[in-house]
Each structure stands twice: as C-alpha cells, then as structure tokens.
Structure 1
Amino acid sequence: MGGVVSSRRAHAAGLSGGATATGAGAGAGAGAGGPLAALEPLTSEPPPPANLDNPGNLDEIHKKCKEVMPVNFEGCKLMINRGINNNFQISQTITMSSMSPSGYKIGATYVGSKQISPTEVFPVILGDVDPDGNLNLNFIHQLTPSWKCRAVGQLQAMRLAAAQISAEHQGSIHTATLTMSSQEWKEGSGVVLAQYLQSVTKPLALGAEIAYQRSPKIPGGEIAVVSAAARYNTDDTEIAAKVGLAGLQLTYYKQASEQLQIGAEVETSFRGQESVGTIGYQIQIPRAELVFRGMVDSNWNVGAVLEKRFTPLPFSFALSGMANQSKQQYRFGVGFIVG
C-alpha cells in the first residue's frame, strides 16, 4: 500500500594458503638477488584502491530516485502489526479496492540474530497467506561475508505458481548476481539473469546485465537481451542509466535540503516506440513525523501520498490520490497501520 509499510522492516542488502608460500619464496629470491626478484610484482595481487567501496546490486542503481516517487493505492487498507518477540512479528491486512485484489491476509516476519550492520540482520523470512490458500514466501540470508542468497515462492490454490532463486557475491569493489526464475512450469518457461556492477572510481560504477528467457510464447522459443549500466553519485546527487536492446532507463536524484528530495526519470521502450518522463519529490518534516511524496509524468498522471505517524500512539495514517485529467480517471485511497 505504497508508503504504508510495517513499522518493523528487515533490510537485507547483501580463499589463500598457497599465496603465502609463493610470497615467501619470492621474498627469499629477492633477498638473494636471484631472478625471482623480478617476478615478485607479477605473483602478488595488488590490493583494491582504498577509496573504492562496494557499489551494491545493479538492480538498485535507480533506488534513490524510485524511493522519492509516491506509490499510489486505491480504496482502503488496514494493517495491524503485533510483535511476538524480538525476532518474530505477525501482521493482518484487510484490503477493500475496486482496482486491486481485495480481502484478508495474515502475514509473518522472522528476523534472525546474525547482525551484519545496524540495518542488516539475517536470516529474514517473510510470508503471507489468504483464505483461498494463496501463499507468498521470501527468504533472504547472508551465508558468508561475501555471499548472499534469496529465494521467492508463490503458491496458488496450493500449487507452485512461481519460484525464483538468486545468489549474490559481494566483493570489495564489485557485486555479481545470478538469478533464475520460472512462472509457467508446465510450458517449460524460465528466465536466467546475470548482473555485474563494479566501482571504477569513487563516484562512478559501471556494470552489465544479460537476460535469457525461454518460452513457447516467444518467437523462436528463446531470447537474450544484453544491457549496460552506469551510476555516478556524489554526496547529494546521483545519476544512473541502463540501456539495452529493450530500452533505456535514466534517473536523476538530488538531495536539495534536509527536508526536500527531488527525482526525475525517463523510461524508453525501443520496441514500443514510447517514452515516459516522470518528475517526483519528497518532503519530510521530522518534527511532525510527516512525509509527503508527489509526482507528475508525461502521460498527464498526477499523484501524491501523505504519510503521518501519531507518536506516542502506535498508529500511522496514509492518504493517496492520483488523477489523469485527459482520461477522466481519479483514484483515492486511505490506509491505517496499527502497531
């Protein structure tokens, strides 16, 4: 329901014995003035530049701009959260809408005790189920300091409808991800996605993506798409781009002040011969515990979401509105979170 989320979030971001012997041999040769002294620079791998950091996942290069944009919803939503203990939480959601699926869902969140950073704790298990037996399940775990795995499953009428699994390797200056997913098991359809993002300089990161899809609905039965990506960020500005055979996505983010953030996005589909531009902003007033997000795009859509928390009461309120004057479409929503 857009910005209305649970008050408790779990964020998940996320070999050399022979080298020692070789280095020792090289050092002995150098001390004796032997020929191994000339080979020492070739046998020792230089450490990564001290000013470069891990750039994160390629899927998140547009994250800052996306977070500025409002996520509108329609109808009414009520969410009640209850913490059982420090690791376990239960939520109940009631949705009434004419545009999106309505009904009742009960969900659970489990957060482990393996803390990687102040905002990252693993493993994380998220799930929800409705009275019809439709189940969504997410599992995220940081196996080692360098390896993270994710698994997503969806059951409909007690049958596996979709599944996805990914493995992510986080190096000192790069992140590599391999994802495999399938939605139509009987037809033998599936997608394999390989992504790589590396820091080149302090503000610049470059990456590439290869997507392979197999499906009987695709002409020829299969297709592969290659894309290139780049991100340039400073303390208060971020520019990111991703371009490939399918299209172009370009985003711009600016932290104008402590209260104001601005974002702009252009999405172009080469196959559909269509482009959409969006401008959004976020105003945050910490003392009032209020967040307002607004946007307007080139399709004449205008939307906004207002979020307000009433401290010390365990209660949050959200109001959403979206309008398109050219199509005479108007959608409004209201949401409540208790807990």
Structure 2
Amino acid sequence: MSETEKQANLFIPSISDLIKLIKIDSIYATSNSGKNSPRKDSYAPCPPSADQAGGDAPTQKCSCRVPEATKSASDRGITGAGVTGSRTSRVCEKDKEHALPEGASNPGLLRYIHNAARYRLPQCFEGACVSLKQSAKNNWVVGHSISFSSVSPGGYKILLSYVDKDKSIGVPYFVMEAAPGGQMSCEMRVGPSQGTRATVVAQIADAEIYSFESIFDAYFKTCTASIITVNREFIALHYMQAITKNISLGAEVVARGHAAELSSASGAGRWVSDDHTVSATLGNRGLDLCYARAIKPFLTVAAMFEVGFAIRRAIATLAYEWHTDQWTVRGSVDSDGLVGATLQRALGGKNAQLACAVSALLNHPNDKFRLGFGITAAII
C-alpha cells in the first residue's frame, strides 16, 4: 500500500473521505514540482468535509446538512465571491487524476484554484465520533460511524464505496453514505474516455431527492474545462488555461434559471513557484484573493481575503498547517472573530491503523465554544 493510501485510512469517514482512499494522480502545471510547494505537500487526516456543491450553488434543503449553528472555521463563501466550489468543496489537491495523454501538463480544474490556501483551514466539528473502516480485497470499502452531538444531527451511519483497484485511473467508483432515518448521499464517477470524467452526486431525504448535481470535466494538454449543473436551476461553465509554467488563467460563467439576477461571470488567475502560490478570482459578485507559502517542509501559512460586492461585506482569514508523519495541526482566525483549530494524531497499529482528532471552535461575537473528539480505526 502506498503512503497516500496509508494516510487516507486515517480519515474520519465521510463521503469525500472514502473517495480519498482511491489513488488518483492530479495533473498540475509543472511549476508545482518543488519539494516545498504549498500545492505539493503531504496531507494528514482531516475531519468530515463540507458538501460537494460549491459556494455559488443553491442552498440545499436536505435535513442531513449541518445546521448554521455548527458552521466551522473552514465554512467560507459567506460573501459569495470566487468560483463555484472553491470554498465549501473540500477536495484535497492530493486527490489525483492522471488521465491525460503522456507528457501533458495543465493547471488542473478551476474549482480547485484556491485549494493551496483553503486546505490549510481546520475542518472543525462538534461532539464525539467513533468510526471503523475495513477495506476488502474485492474493491469494496465498508465503514461504520457513530456520532454524538448536542447541536447537529448525530446517530449511526454506514458508508460503502467501490473502486476498481486494478485500474490506475481509479474509475469507475461509487460511494454511498446512509443513515437509519432514510437520509442518504450517493456519488458515482466514470471515465468515458482517457481525458474525461463524469460525476453524479445525489442527496436523498424523506423519500425525495433534495439535491442532484452532475459534473463533467475534460482534461486537455494545457487546459481543462468543466460543466456543473445543480437541480436544473444552476449551471456553471469553467475553463482553465496554463499560460506559462508559473501562470494560469481561467474564467467562469454561472447561469440560474429561477434567479437570473444572481447569474455571474468571473475571471481567475494563479501564480505558483516552489514555495508560493497566489490565486485570485474577480467577478460581478465579488473578489477572492488567496496566498499560501511553505515556510518549512512541515509548516505552511495561508492568507485569504474575500469581498462580496452585493452584500458589501469583506472577510479576511489567516491560517496555518503544521504537520509531521504522525500528526497534523491546523488553525485559523478571521475578521469575524471566529477562531478554530484541529489536531489529528496517528496512533498506529499492525493490523488496524488508529487515528484520533480533536477540534475546537471559538465564536467571539456570540461567545460560543464548540469541542469535538473523534477516533477512527481502519482495518487493512
């Protein structure tokens, strides 16, 4: 098993965490090959992630979503600036997609343009969680999770995923998360061709499909393109082009069927070096600036500035990530008075890998404090 797979087994299970068990290689501009590049770090376990739909996507009514009271330090997108999925979508840049022709080099997908900085934000959670995952030899991964919380939905969940381990590109795969109350989330991805990916994500609750999202990504030698649709009322078109080894430019067009006044267009750009990454998006809805720097091989700092033109609001955030092979610490503070931190610690084990996670979130304006503790066992 590779180092990436070993780290993935330490995650607290969620839909996106099970996906990360798949070994897929990301294709980025060749400028990211430096040892200390903020976009090239070795990532440690992280708590449950946000929903797949981006910050520009409509608010979902599914009752299995985390309520407002439990919003984490990583729940950005308050101002609505940036590109679809660049804030609430917690897709790690370690998730890989080596489906390009040999020798191809492109800037990756537009919706991941800010990941170098936003991945440093702590994924805070509340309550207690005990999880168990087992990877079978027949390409299936089964997980069980029990969570307890006073402010967010808890209880028992079962997780099931499938991936063809014999294929280097890691598709097709299927991931499902279900709760006894009938709440269920499903995600399926296929590769119609060597350079394309098609993904479908659905959320079901109360015997009704509350959210249905489809994504089609196309990878070319120096560029990528995506089409994202949500609930027949939201569509986004993405394009990202590598200009040089260090500079990439992109654009997004968002159209809404029932709220045309919320449609938007934005441009994006990114500059990278071995130790620095600067990314920006600017459109009629807002401005989003992100900066990440690898100070040492084990320390990365990030700064984010988000401005919403329509709501006339700006938010600034500082974050850091300190990691070793055995533990990872992430912390952040923003101009709204929200301070969060997480600690993930690998406990080891010969036949069962163990990991624990501690989360703390302090909301100064509301004088509220949230504490979380989780344990994960991965049987390999």
* TM-score, normalised via structure 2 length: 0.72
Identity of aligned residues (%): 25
Counterpart residue number, 1:208: 251
Counterpart residue number, 1:165: 214
Counterpart residue number, 1:226: 265
Q: Deviations over 1:28-78 (max 9, x none)?
A: xxxxxxxxxxxxxxxxxxxxxx99821110000011111111010011111
Q: Deviations over 1:203-252 (max 9, x none)?
A: 0000000000122xx3xx66421010001111121101111111111110
Does residue 294 in structure 1 map to residue 294 in structure 2?
no
The structure where strand makes up a greater share of residues is: 1
Residue 59 of structure 1: SS of its match in structure 2?
helix
Say if 1:52 and 1:201 are closer, same or farther in 2 by CA, change over 3 A: farther
Q: Deviations over 1:257-295 (max 9, x none)?
A: 111011111111111111111111111122xx0111111
Paired amino acid for 1:270: F
For 1:205 and 1:105, locate their aligned partners in 2 and report how far apart those are by CA, in whole Å.
Answer: 41
Of 110, 120, 124, the match for 1:72: 124
The structure 1 segments of at least 4 consecutive aligned residues displaced by more than 6 Å after TM superposition are none
Counterpart residue number, 1:186: none
For 1:113 and 1:337, locate their aligned partners in 2 and report how far apart those are by CA, in whole Å.
Answer: 23
Of 12, 17, 26, the match for 1:4: 12
Q: CA RMSD in A?
A: 2.1
Q: How does 1:252-271 map to 2 (within 5 A)?
A: 252-271=291-310
Counterpart residue number, 1:285: 324
Does residue 272 in structure 1 map to residue 324 in structure 2?
no
Paired amino acid for 1:56: G
For 1:214 and 1:74, locate their aligned partners in 2 and report how far apart those are by CA, in whole Å.
Answer: 36
Paired amino acid for 1:199: A
Conserved 8 A contact 2:269-2:281: yes
Structure 2, gaps ≥5 residues long: 1-9, 28-101
For 1:72 and 1:201, locate their aligned partners in 2 and report how far apart those are by CA, in whole Å.
Answer: 37
Does residue 148 in structure 1 map to residue 197 in structure 2?
yes
Paired amino acid for 2:140: F
Paired amino acid for 1:256: I
Structure 1, gaps ≥5 residues long: 15-49, 183-188
* Equivalences, count: 288
Of 123, 131, 137, the match for 1:85: 137
1:327 deviation in Å? 2.2
Does residue 122 in structure 1 map to residue 171 in structure 2?
yes
Residue 121 of structure 1: SS of its match in structure 2?
coil
Paired amino acid for 1:151: V
Counterpart residue number, 1:238: 277
1:308 deviation in Å? 0.4
Counterpart residue number, 1:101: 153
* TM-score, normalised via structure 1 length: 0.80
Structure showing greater relative contact order (alpha-carbon pairs closer than 8 Å, 6 or more residues apart): 2
Counterpart residue number, 2:223: 174
1:100 deviation in Å? 2.0
1:193 deviation in Å? 0.7
